[in-house]
Amino acid sequence: MSTNSSTTNILTVRNLYGRIEGQQVVEDVSFDVPDTGVTALLGRNGVGKTSTIKSILGLIDRSGEVTLGGRRVDRLPTHKVVQLGVGYVPEDREVFGKLTVAENLKLAERSAHPNRALVEELFPDLVQRQAQLAGTLSGGQQQMVSVARALLNQNRLLLVDEPTKGLSPKIVGEVAQALLAAAKTVPILLVEQNLQVIRQLADRVVVLSGGRVVFTGEATELLDDPERIQRYLGVHSGSERSSAGQTDATVRA
């Protein structure tokens, strides 16, 4: 995908620190997310990608400056940040297993006019499974529910954490297509380990190492440079991940 030429940023992060039970997990992170397209947040295992997302949302203790559309949000509680138009697709799906698909979606609605047409277009399988308990769905179907919950609302930004983790190649493709469609209407900050998905979706990348930003730039600038991929991500472009049955370069979250 081509790099977004807009100079307007929907999200600005400056000197962000995050802590979990007193332990520093995000250390002086600064980056911007443009108001269109997909920005991928990459890095090796345990470098703080998920913690950065949670720090932005206020799900863990944080300090620093987080600005959404020009408004400071770093002093707001999580629910207030969400109400300002931030959709969140958490790692490991976190659906309500004892509720039906329809009930999971209903709980996610923030307005009287949810974008059900988009969800039904992108996830027709969920329409057929509305009455099914979410806990009985496959992992891929649960991920569809998680993404669908975020897309129901008119968001200004989506934070999407590891949407293809543990999924079959077929479902990975379906999730990627759904995010590609969503990115046409809302900017996305995406944590993802599958570099083929990153190549398909991302305009820009931000790479973390040791809780800090070590690279920002166009996605192709990183993905077309095997030496940088090895240095920053610890994988070889085109390497095979036999455990998932995929041929791609991956980065563990």
DSSP letters spanning 10-66: EEEEEEEEEEETTEEEEEEEEEEEESSSEEEEEESTTSSHHHHHHHHHTSSEEEEEE
Residue 211 has pLDDT above 80, yes or no: no
CA–CA dist 47, 36 (Å, integer): 26
Percent of the chain past pLDDT 90, that is, above it, reads 70
Q: Which of 26, 155, 41 is nearest to 91 (CA)?
A: 41
How many other CB atoms are there within 10 angstroms of residue 111's CB atom?
9
Q: What is the pLDDT of residue 34?
A: 97
Kindly indicate the confidence band of residue 110, based on its pLDDT and cuts at 50, 70 and 90: confident
Quote the distance between the C-alpha of residue 46 and its chain's center.
16
More confident site: 24 or 6: 24
CA–CA dist 170, 215 (Å, integer): 31
Kindly indicate the confidence band of residue 89, based on its pLDDT and cuts at 50, 70 and 90: very high
Percent of the chain past pLDDT 70, that is, above it, reads 90
Residue 45 has pLDDT above 90, yes or no: no
Q: Which residues pair with 68 in a beta bridge?
A: 11, 71
Q: Which domains are delineated in the chain?
A: 9-247 (3.40.50.300)
Q: What is the pLDDT of residue 251?
A: 39
Q: What is the pLDDT of residue 56?
A: 97
The edge-to-edge listing of strands for the beta sheet with 9-20 is: 23-34, 9-20, 61-68, 71-72
Q: What is the pLDDT of residue 49?
A: 94
Residue 242's contacts (CB-CB under 8 Å, 6 or more residues apart) are none
CA–CA dist 250, 253 (Å, integer): 9
More confident site: 189 or 123: 189
Residue 113 has pLDDT above 60, yes or no: yes
The CA-based angle 138-181-250, given to 5 degrees, is 60
Residue 130 has pLDDT above 60, yes or no: yes
Mean pLDDT of the chain: 88
More confident site: 137 or 236: 137
Q: Which residues pair with 61 in a beta bridge?
A: 19
Kindly indicate the confidence band of residue 247, based on its pLDDT and cuts at 50, 70 and 90: very low
Residue 245 has pLDDT above 50, yes or no: no
Kindly indicate the confidence band of residue 161, based on its pLDDT and cuts at 50, 70 and 90: very high
Residue 157: both structure tokens together: 């930004």
Residues in the chain: 253
Q: What is the pLDDT of residue 72?
A: 97
More confident site: 235 or 179: 179
Q: What is the pLDDT of residue 236?
A: 60
Residue 253 has pLDDT above 80, yes or no: no
Q: What is the pLDDT of residue 94?
A: 86
